[in-house]
Amino acid sequence: MNAEPGLYHYTLCGLDDVYLVNGFTRHDTPYGSGVSIEDVAGLHRVIAEDIIRRRARLDGAEVRFLRKELDLSQSGLAALLGVDAQTVARWEKGQTDVPGPADRLIRILYREQASGNSDVRGLIDAMADLDEIEHRRRCFEETAEGWRTAA
């Protein structure tokens, strides 16, 4: 896609299809022309919201963008999703498609962070912790009141 004159093709976010109409200043530097963006954090919030509202499956660049906005490493995101870090790396490289449940969960995690809520993240963290617990024996006993977990 060729940019219209006056648009700025913002590629530093890692996405190929982001163009800015305004909110940036072009200037000359001793090293050539440069661009300053007034509110990068605000811009990234709007980009992320646009990504999570789209109906199309997340592509690799979008997964990477959202992961970075969530301030997670590939292994951190992998732990939350119950996959290994190489799986996340393959998604980000576009080598494999992001499965539907992982796609939805990444969107939910971003939406939750943006809203300042942590209910889902807390639940996912607790579930990830459970995955780390070594399997133990579960014992139950019958009492006069019925069955219960044994001490």
User: Are both 96 and 123 inside the same structural domain?
Assistant: yes
Tell whether 1 is covered by a domain: yes
Which range of residues forms the domain containing residue 121?
40-132
Q: Region 90-116: what's the mean pLDDT?
A: 95
What whole-number distance in Å separates Cα of residue 71 and Cα of residue 18? 21
User: Are both 19 and 81 inside the same structural domain?
Assistant: no
Average pLDDT, the chain: 90
Give the pair of three-digit tokens for residue 46: 């709007």
Sign of CA dihedral 122, 101, 133, 73: negative
What whole-number distance in Å separates Cα of residue 100 and Cα of residue 55? 11
Would the pLDDT of 131 be above 70? no
User: Are both 76 and 111 inside the same structural domain?
Assistant: yes
Would the pLDDT of 1 be above 60? no
pTM greater than 0.85 (yes/no) = no
Please name the residue that has the structure tokens 């109409």. 21
The amino acid occupying position 67 is R
Q: Region 90-104: what's the mean pLDDT?
A: 96
Tell whether 2 is covered by a domain: yes
Would the pLDDT of 43 be above 90? yes
Q: Region 57-74: what's the mean pLDDT?
A: 97
